[in-house]
Amino acid sequence: RAVPEPDDCEPFVIQGGGFRREDGEIVAVPATRDPVPSESENGRSNGELYSVSLALTGGNRNSGTTQFFVNLDEDNASLDAQGFTVFGLVTGGTEVVDAIVAVETEVGSILGSEQSLPVDDILIVRMVRLAPGPAEDL
């Protein structure tokens, strides 16, 4: 989903994982592992464009499981203090992230009145984990 700021129509993150469409309905994806403890003080910031963070449940810093989000706004550094752990960075394919932001959205049944659910499903087919090297700091 492309999540807009309150009182704004521009998304500040795109969020994925945690839900799927089944017979036209949005259903939760059960967690397959225990929640991950927050590592939000790892030196990474949600204020870095295209950084990838673990989403939380109910504001609990130690509740991350299957949902993640990609930061689209440098003002998102305020999320650091809330316990959102940055665990990755989109280093290639940022145009794909931008294309996701531009898809048509609708109000979702589980999201109240928020206009953020893509009309058509978006499927991430492939992600690659790069091991940090001497010139990289992932």
R_g of the chain computed on alpha carbons:
15
In b/e form, how buried is each residue of 82-116, taking b as 16+ CB within 10 angstroms?
ebbbbbbbeeeeeeebeebeeeebeebeeeeeeeb
pLDDT in tens, 128-137: 777 665 544 4
129 compared with 61, residue with greater pLDDT: 61
Q: What CA–CA distance (Å, rounded) separates 37 from 85? A: 9
Residue 138 predicted with pLDDT over 50: no
- Residue 44: its pLDDT value, please? 93
pLDDT (0 to 100) of residue 123: 83
In terms of average pLDDT, the best of 5-9, 30-34, 48-52, 116-120 is 48-52
**Number of helices (H), then strands (E), in the chain:** 1, 9
